[in-house]
Amino acid sequence: MAIKVGDRMPEGSFGVMTREGPGSMAAADLFRGKKVVLFAVPGAFTPTCSMNHLPGYLEHAADFRARGVDTIACMAVNDTFVMNAWGKDRQVGDKVVMLADGNGAYTKALGLELDATGFGMGHRSQRFAIVVHDGVVKQLHVEAPREFKVSSAEHVLENL
């Protein structure tokens, strides 16, 4: 069953790159006491994700901060090395936290999996954006198949 507005974000963890190498971040540490926009993409370096989705959040990072968002986080079912390389390639800096859900466990806990085996990509995450206040889902924007509208930075900003 997919997560819905009013639900608490599930427990779990994400892979993150640290100065010492691959590390882990608990979901509780990401969400506790903060206003977070978590957006997910089907895959790092893929066309819509690289050319539209992530760049929108980078472009509007200051606008999100001005509206009280503490953290913008991007999640994909990719490993920590790929998410780190994608962040460097897209010059993310400290504007967006790049989260690896390497085995798709967090995506599955959210109930937002995508079967992309027909495209040779295995099981991934649906494209979505969630606005979270202190661990509770306040807004949930899940894209229809092959769409990119409601999870865009612009749409989420309009609804904050």
And the tokens for 91?
Answer: 């010059």
74 a catalytic residue: no
DSSP 104-159: SHHHHHHT-EEE-GGGT--EEEPPEEEEEETTEEEEEEEPPTT--STTSHHHHHHT
Q: What is the chain's pLDDT, residue by residue, as a tens digit (160 residues)?
A: 799 999 999 999 999 999 999 999 999 999 999 999 999 999 888 878 878 899 999 999 999 999 999 999 999 999 999 999 999 999 999 999 999 999 999 999 999 998 777 777 768 889 999 999 999 999 999 999 889 999 999 999 999 9
- What domain range includes position 20? 13-158
141 in a structural domain: yes
Coil, strand, or helix at residue 118? helix
> How far is the C-alpha of 140 from the C-alpha of 37, rounded, in Å?
10
Q: Could you give the number of structural domains in the chain?
A: 1
Q: Cβ(50)–Cβ(90) under 8 Å?
A: yes
55 in a structural domain: yes
> How far is the C-alpha of 92 from the C-alpha of 79, rounded, in Å?
17
- The CATH code of the domain that includes 88 is 3.40.30.10
8 in a structural domain: no
5 in a structural domain: no
3 in a structural domain: no
127 in a structural domain: yes
Coil, strand, or helix at residue 27? helix
Q: Cβ(16)–Cβ(30) under 8 Å?
A: no
User: Among the options 44, 49, 92, 142, which is catalytic?
Assistant: 49
7 in a structural domain: no
